[in-house]
Amino acid sequence: MKRKGIISAVSGLAAGVLVAAVFFADFNKEEKASSAADNKSKAEKVYVPYGEYDDYYMLASGGHSGQLFVYGVPSMRKIRTVPVFTPDPATGYGYDENTKKMLGGYTWGDFHHPAVSETKGDYDGEFLFANDVGNNRVAAVDLSTFHTADIMSLPNMGGPHAGVFVTENTEYIALPTRFARPLGGKYAELDKYKEEYKGVVSMAKFDRDKKKFNLAYQIMLPPWSYDLSDAGKKMSGDWIVMTTYNTEFATTNLEINASQNDRDYIVLINWKKLEGEVAKGNYKEIEGVKMVDPRDYKGAIYAIPVSKSPHGVDVTPDGKRFIAAGKLAPLMTVFSFEKAFEAIEKEDYSDEKFGIPVLPYKKVMEREVDPPGALGPLHTQFDDKGNAYNTMFISSEVVKWKVDTGEVIDRKPSYFSPGHSSAAEGDTVDPDGKWLVALNKIAKDNFLSVGPSHPESMDLFDISGEEMEHIMAAPVDPEPHYAQIVHKDKIKPKKLYEKDEKRKNAVWSKEDAHIERKGNEVHVYGVALRSKFVFDAKSDRPDAVTVNQGDRVFFHMTNIDLDQDITHGFGINDYNLNFEVQPGQTNTLEFVADQAGTFPIYCTNFCSALHQEMSGYLLVKPKE
């Protein structure tokens, strides 16, 4: 089989016009195919025998599907889809009252970067945070149930692409905006871009007991585009770093106009300092949010020039350096926090932009790493031996190099065009150095064809040795922007929702199931168990509910099968409604019975040998 890899290269012309050129690179069979013995050893590395588990969870962003994908590593088996920003009939997410309210009418989201909650810079496995670039939201997934626990809308943002990342102890979940926008999203002519448009960073707090977000404050910045960001660690723990592009303030044709400057900026912000100012009341209330302008406070914000249009910026596990990857400049730039702090101390500034002191590039930069022919570096991950791993979008490869010296150790192709990669615990203070998954944007002919558009692709590499070993490719739905690979011991999922006698709307025995009517509201306090629904214990047809057309109906259902994995679904024929109750869970379905007639209700989730019998009737009496 002859493989063709598409490589799109972006090259700058004299006039600053960027042209995308397309090359075809041939990977011939001899180079690509490995021997049968090789294949056997690779297969053995990832084979997880029945009865055993993968070592890691990979929690992968589902991009514009708005969902979270859960994979096992190293097997690369997909375990679960967790709906976050998008309704999901398979689990009834967005149909029951609570999740419907949480989604607030949105039917899609664009989930880019997952961030697992951290303690001392290491994953603690309790929650996962996600950004919605499409509709300006942040979500928290409870990793004890893999259910979305809260979603908060973020005002003043234009797509929080550069988040989410958490500070060392999850003090904050930070979300910098991608597009600058007038505050409140108000109307302002594009000619007023520099004056009226703002680049805003949201600093959210999450209360783990209440499982609720609140927006602590926002940071108002110049109308640059913030691309990616990271939180400092250890010595740099009070800081956040962000890459910018479009420091040209282009308002049209960004492909060209936002790629003019040779240098854009890394922005350094001291969140600790800003937190202190907010506590002292030094903020303005704008659009109902505490807004701080870091330029009002000495020592809160700095910029560092970086080669043009950088994409990722990642802090090293020891917190001493940060690495920017230049999507248009084919190099990784290593910066030193120590040197940055020194320059700040001495007030050694080379420039000032928008009132922001600019630190001299030469004094803060430690080295530029420029492997020959490696093009389009996007993101950096780390192992436990002081090495960095960079994905190269254009030259389709992963480059391993030594952070201390810049020495390139290994390069391996990835199939094709990787965006992020994710190494086992590879963005924490304590990476494991075991596996790395390149999250590719293009699959080409990796898998059985499903038409003109293919799945995205993930390449699994074993990175435990000196050389990286490509093990396998696995398909993934759009779009794997980023993932975190978390050791299985750090996540402690529940087997059940514990029985709670005081839970609102819950009924814990068949005998207690009942119906209450208040005016035109009908509240059904029912139970689901193998293999029946009980809505009204006193009725001679306990699994039927009769209401009047126009009534507002509430099915408060409790699954009283306290047995792991016995989930009951609840679909109403012809009513376009379906939700579920997991073991021990209580959920409410609320709707107006506007359609008169007879509607079967049935359990949608296969739960027992008599699952087909798990049904009932909704009877809606016509108005007249």
Report in angstroms the alpha-carbon separations of 495 from 9, 335, 618.
49, 45, 32
Min dist. Cβ of residue 142 to ligand CUA (A)? 24
Instruction: Mark 194-233 with x for binding to ligand K7E (rule: CB under 6 A) and - for no binding.
Output: ----------------------------------x-----
Q: Does 311 bind ligand K7E (CB under 6 A)?
A: yes
Residue 192, amino acid: K
Per CB under 6 A, contacts with ligand CUA among 3-62 are: none
Cβ burial, residue 518 (10 Å; 0-12/13-18/19+): exposed
Q: Does 64 bind ligand K7E (CB under 6 A)?
A: no
Q: Does 419 bind ligand K7E (CB under 6 A)?
A: yes
Q: Which DSSP symbol is given to 498?
A: P
What residue 614 binds from ligand CUA, ligand K7E, none (CB within 5 to 8 A, per partner kind)?
ligand CUA
Q: Which stretch binds ligand CUA (CB under 6 A): 142-150, 244-252, 269-277, 606-614?
A: 606-614
Instruction: Mark 149-188 with x for binding to ligand K7E (rule: CB under 6 A) and - for no binding.
Output: ------------x---------------------------
Min dist. Cβ of residue 508 to ligand CUA (A)? 17
Report in angstroms the alpha-carbon separations of 83 from 177, 179, 214.
23, 26, 21
What residue 607 binds from ligand CUA, ligand K7E, none (CB within 5 to 8 A, per partner kind)?
ligand CUA
Min dist. Cβ of residue 23 to ligand K7E (A)? 20
Q: Does 556 bind ligand CUA (CB under 6 A)?
A: no
Per CB under 6 A, contacts with ligand K7E among 420-459 are: 420
What residue 147 binds from ligand K7E, ligand CUA, none (CB within 5 to 8 A, per partner kind)?
none
In whole angstroms, what is the distance from residue 40 CA to residue 34 CA?
Answer: 10
In whole angstroms, what is the distance from residue 289 CA to residue 292 CA?
Answer: 9
Q: Does 614 bind ligand CUA (CB under 6 A)?
A: yes
Return the H-helix or E-strand segment holding 569. strand 568-572
Q: Does 378 bind ligand K7E (CB under 6 A)?
A: yes
In terms of CB distance, is 174 or 528 closer to ligand CUA?
528
Task: Give me the residue label for tokens 């979603």.
Answer: 151
- Asked if 418 and 312 count as a contact pair (C-beta separation under 8 A), the reply is no
Q: Residue 216 has which token pair?
A: 């602590």
Q: Which stretch binds ligand CUA (CB under 6 A): 120-128, 202-210, 314-322, 600-608?
A: 600-608
What residue 482 binds from ligand CUA, ligand K7E, none (CB within 5 to 8 A, per partner kind)?
ligand K7E
In terms of CB distance, is 435 or 533 closer to ligand CUA?
533
Q: Residue 215 has which token pair?
A: 């927006």
Q: Which stretch binds ligand CUA (CB under 6 A): 100-108, 327-335, 490-498, 602-610?
A: 602-610
- Asked if 430 and 460 count as a contact pair (C-beta separation under 8 A), the reply is no
Instruction: Mark 468-497 with x for binding to ligand K7E (rule: CB under 6 A) and - for no binding.
Output: -------------xx---------------
In whole angstroms, what is the distance from residue 181 CA to residue 579 CA?
Answer: 38
Three-class secondary structure assignment of 438-452: EEECCCCCCCCCCCC
Question: Which residues touch 599 (CB under 8 Å, ≥6 apart)?
Answer: 572, 573, 574, 575, 617, 618, 619, 620
Q: Compute the 3-state secondary structure of the chain and give helix, strand, coil in percent, each to the nearest 5.
A: 10, 45, 45
Q: In this chain, which of 568, 578, 579, 618 binds ligand CUA, going by CB under 6 A?
A: 568
Could you tell me how many residues make up the chain? 624
- Asked if 313 and 324 count as a contact pair (C-beta separation under 8 A), the reply is yes
In whole angstroms, what is the distance from residue 198 CA to residue 292 CA?
Answer: 12
Write out the residues near ligand CUA by the rule CB under 6 A.
568, 603, 605-607, 611, 614
Write out the residues near ligand K7E by the rule CB under 6 A.
112-113, 161, 228, 311, 378-379, 419-420, 481-482
